[in-house]
Amino acid sequence: MSRTLRGGIIGIVAITAAWWALSLCIPGGFLPSPAAVVPRMIFLLPRSLLVHIGASLGRIGVALGIAIVTAVPAGIAIGRSKTLDRLFSPIAYLLYPVPKIALLPLIMLLFGLGNVSKVLIVFLVLFFQVLVATRDAAHQVPAQYLLSLRSLGGTRLQAARYVLLPALFPSLLSSLRIGTGTALAVLFFAETFGTRKGLGWFVMESWMRMSYVDMFAGILCLGIVGLGIFLAIDALYRRLCRWNRST
């Protein structure tokens, strides 16, 4: 058994034990035990939870794809051009710290309560995270590496493929780990408005019905979705960053 798998099992056992102990200490059924939540989650998966999981993952997937397609080229351009860096870095640094959830009322007024506004708010979270990380990584690539490739007859496209992108992958994937966690939290809040599909809606609807077992089943699904995304990013890291011995 690998150390990673062994550590994961130990972590799950520790969290489950702490959850069980807390459920015994908190009266009134406000914190149901894992023995009640896990079977309920399994029961609800084919009946409703899979639909809500699919809706949430779809919104995150679309926002993530658009963020990568737009933020990575922009970050490379800003990081490799002193002129663009002087023009756009102050704007990025000004907008990056602004809590994107504060823009949700404005986005919903402009784009309605449907999927567009939910995807857009998640996109904004991920865009600035990826943009800043890509800009910093591109800025740190030594010019000698690019000059060496050009001196050997390499093209701009080859320079981007064999020098810039490999240098960017560690920072890019690390920013996705951080940004995805924030995006899930923002999406949870956004899904409480104008929709009946999504884990955020399911959790809040269960809470309003005072069905705490269902509520924690939804929260557990959120955790599993986040874990799945993190494991997928880790798998990409190991595949794309094989040259980095620290992986």
Cα separation of 49 and 45, whole Å? Answer: 4
Tens digits of residue pLDDT in 145-163: 777 777 777 777 777 777 8
Residue ranges per domain, the chain? 1-31, 34-240
Residue 134 near residue 75, CB atoms below 8 Å: yes
Tens digits of residue pLDDT in 176-235: 888 888 888 899 989 988 888 999 999 999 999 999 999 999 999 999 999 899 889 988
The domain made up of 34-240 is a member of CATH 1.10.3720.10: yes
Cα separation of 55 and 43, whole Å? Answer: 19
Report the share of the chain in percent with pLDDT over 70: 96
pTM of the model as a whole: 0.85
> Would you state the pLDDT for residue 53?
95
Cα separation of 181 and 94, whole Å? Answer: 22
Which residues lie closer than 8 Å to 216 by C-beta, 6 or more apart? 31, 32, 37
Cα separation of 71 and 129, whole Å? Answer: 9
Buried b (16+ CB within 10 A) or exposed e, 62-74: bbbebbbeebbeb
